[in-house]
Structure 1
């Protein structure tokens, strides 16, 4: 079984139903909600990383490994978000250059 099929089985909302087609407004809302959810997860990871870093600086925790792992995860999420943003902007610019 491919990875895509595994993801679809784990997330039934990703299943495509050919009999039901979304309107452009519904598709836009779903895309906007997906982006909002992703950004909120990045923000949450950044906040958790900040909290753990502050706790380490105050001496409230001595688990340096956990702080560093959390920081790295937050950094990877942020870099990924910036790359997705860049690709989306590039795609938008490319569409604006198209001749109709």
Structure 2
């Protein structure tokens, strides 16, 4: 039994270029929250894949290179998520410092 390596998921933009649409702020927030949830689920799936690959490696079903690739993909996904979180917090703090 061999496992296929994880394929890199592409992120499709959810923002519409339609200026005449009647999207409410609640709709936009829901779309953004769905996007964030899908991104976090993807990072979680990568981590789960690494655990599965490790188990399969211990059983002798996959090569060490496949385990290393899956591990690096999960690590990069986690680093990206962490950097995005840091930028969002930084932007929030900057907005809170603004005087109205």
- Relative to the length of structure 2, the TM-score reads 0.81
What secondary structure, in the 3-state scheme, does the structure 2 residue paired with 1:88 have? helix
Partner Cα distance (1:73, 1:26) in 2: 32
The CA distance in 2 between the partners of 1:14 and 1:78, in whole Å, is 24
Deviation readout 1:59-100 (Å, 9 max, x if unpaired): 332411111001100110010000000100110111111101
| Coordinate RMSD, CA, aligned | 1.9
Match of 1:36 in 2: 37
Q: Is the 8 A contact 2:14 2:31 kept in 1?
A: no
Structure 1 unaligned segments of length 5 or more: list them.
1-6
In proportion to residue count, which structure has more helix? Answer: 1
TM normalised by structure 1 equals 0.81
User: Is residue 76 of structure 1 aligned with residue 76 of structure 2?
Assistant: yes
Task: In structure 2, list runs of 5 or more residues that go unmatched.
Answer: 1-9
Q: Give the total of aligned pairs.
A: 90
Residues 24-55 of structure 1: CA deviation (Å, up to 9, x unaligned)? 11111111000000000000011001110122
User: Whose relative contact order is higher, 1 or 2, with alpha carbons under 8 Å and at least 6 apart?
Assistant: 2
